[in-house]
Amino acid sequence: MNVIIPVAGEGTRLRPHTHAVPKSLLYVAGKPILGHILDSLEGLKIDNFVIVLGARGEAIIDFCNTYPHDFKYVLQEKRLGLGHAIFLGAQALEGPTLVLLGDTIIDVDYPKF
């Protein structure tokens, strides 16, 4: 299985919080949103993790480096929307792919899903 997590948005509606921190790294309940997402995938057999980056992508990469996964990063140079971000992330992927929004925490039993 593949997982694409687009985190390229600028988080304009959350300013001033997102002036210095990417939206997916804002803390909710003691950890960054992206941390909640990655932790929810623990124990699943995932072949490819693709993170679609935008502004302040270096901070996202630094955070992802704290996880034992082999992430692939794709830069969305022009913000052409979520569909475009997913398209960029899916370019080299084959097979079942799960898209998880990098700014959304949901409670899902992924093995059942």
Q: Identify residue 74 by its one-letter amino acid code.
A: V
pLDDT confidence of residue 74: 96
Q: Which CATH number fits the domain that encloses residue 61?
A: 3.90.550.10
Residue 73 maps to a domain = yes
Token pair 């390229």 in the structure block, residue: 8
110 or 32: which carries more pLDDT confidence? 32
> Is residue 8 predicted with pLDDT exceeding 90?
no
Residue 100 corresponds to which tokens in the numbers above? 């998880």
Residue 85 maps to a domain = yes
The pTM (predicted TM-score) of the whole model is 0.90
What gap in Å lies between CA 94 and CA 1, rounded to an integer? 9
- Rg, Å, the chain Cα set: 13
Residue 21 maps to a domain = yes
Task: Tell me the backbone φ, ψ of residue 93, rounded to 5 degrees.
Answer: -100, 150
Q: What is the mean pLDDT of residues 47-69?
A: 94
pLDDT one-digit tens code per residue, 68-97: 999 999 999 998 999 999 999 999 899 999
- Count the domains in the chain: 1
Query: Would you call 90 helix, strand, or coil by DSSP?
Result: helix
pLDDT confidence of residue 12: 63
> Is residue 17 predicted with pLDDT exceeding 90?
no
Residue 112 maps to a domain = no
